[in-house]
Structure 1
Amino acid sequence: MTATLIDGKAFAASLRQRIATQVATLKEKGITPGLAVVLVGEDPASQVYVRSKGKQTLEVGMNSYEHKLPEDTPEADLLALIDRLNNDPAVNGILVQLPLPRHMDEAAVINAIDPAKDVDGFHILNVGLLATGQKAMVPCTPLGCLMMLRDQLGSLSGKRAVVVGRSNIVGKPMAQLLLRDSATVTIAHSRTADLPDLCRQADILVAAVGRPHFVQGDWVKPGATVIDVGINRTDDGLVGDVDFAAARQIAGAITPVPGGVGPMTIACLLANTLTATARANGLPDPEGLTP
């Protein structure tokens, strides 16, 4: 048995097309969504990511606002910029690219963003709203994973899900989203006792631990759906947190790395920006773009 490949690149392209169609409809009403991205410093990976975000933002018809600040920018200056963006009606979404320089308080910066414009879904208010099942801005990577799982499996109700990873960015919000869809969820991590046996019980296995090939093929339940969030740079190129070659022989469906979860993250950032725009203008949430 060879698992079905879940093509995140194709899914993301389809999602961007749907977003572009809905943006065009908003423009007919005189509303153009605007996304502001703030980059502090010269981190090469972050620069590439920000360029890609800006390009895709424009391609779906949104306005893109990029703010690049020097590495030694005082935190107070960054907070002042965020305050201006919070009060700018042309800006519907604000994203501060992480990681930040060491002299800045990441939590303080994130929580300075207007929660309604927090398209990363990292603000403490959005975290709390998600955890209590209320309407929130949802982190992009888990949202993309959820969309692919629903597309692959239909209803997630009653499925046994194991999330390997407990980060605030992926692991914890992923678990909350799976709970919302009535899956039975276990959060595991590298120190979980009997982790292989736990993983073998999962109908849905999400790997987000940040270690190359951490999840072995024989940890996968036959026929399970495997979502590999990991992106690890190795001498062999980019690899995921799952031993893909081995897991593919056992799983029912699996995301590759690259080309799986990665492309969905920016697409869901655009989806969140569209959602934020709709909410700011008293319109219903865009169909199919929210949990």
Structure 2
Amino acid sequence: MAAHFQLFFSVCPCQAMFDYSKTGDKVTGDQLECVFARLKNGDSRMNVKDSHGIPMGNHLETLYDPRTDTYYLRFIPTLLTPTMCFYSFDAAKVAAMNDGKMPIFPHVVSFLPDRYLDEMCYEKDTASFLFINSPEKFFEELKEQVPIAIKQNENILTTDRYYHTKGNDDCELFADKVDYTRHLPTDIYYDEPRPSAELFWKYPQYHFQSEVRVAILNTNFVWDYDPQHFKYEQHRLDVYLPHLHEYATIRAAKDLQNICFFCRSEDEPVMCAVNLPYQEEK
């Protein structure tokens, strides 16, 4: 019998992380999620227009920093995009530690040290972690199930904040790694608006999060955005994944010893195993 598992898509991590940051959590919280511009006070580009030349008006949020007399600009449609994020193990980084090649024998990657648990405010005896062993299978099932979830929850979703044909049933699901190198916190910049691209940019100090994000583009939650009273826990899309148990496992933090990346031959894809005994290449 297939295990029943519900995966929660919540409002874009930028809003969730903003809520975290208000509590003083600087590890998971970032008040500057999804910023596409940082401009000096008085810059004419503050009058942002969309791709049709129409002023953004209520679709634009500005955050003033009196210390530097600058403004940060964010799009409200981006803030309300259903998105999820994951800590990821980058195969390229593992290969870089092995002269550019993935090791044929298991390569142990250190994970869940006490410092990580402490900084993330997790208790080792009670925390559990979901490991997705096949991102390809996971993404394929998302592409099948997310449109179903959208149809079942039409009352909480809207496409009115985007320019496209009404009644279009296509669901644009996008996944990518977060880029931590695009801008420094001291930069003055203005990136031409592209739909939800800012979801995948963060400042370098958050590189340790090694995030991969999955977003449902051109879709928003229907509620008006109020940064002072917004409760992201109340804005979520439940997506049922009946085959999750086939490509993912859940491990208790207290039982997790290591994560191994390996490939059986140079021609095969990279594999991942949890708590695999480490064996040197013979």
Whose helix proportion is higher, 1 or 2?
1
**Superposed pair shares fold, TM > 0.5:** no
Query: Greater relative contact order: 1 or 2 (C-alpha under 8 angstroms, separation 6 or more)?
Result: 2
TM-score by length of 2: 0.23
Whose strand proportion is higher, 1 or 2?
2
Q: Indicate the structure (1 or 2) with the bigger Cα radius of gyration.
A: 2
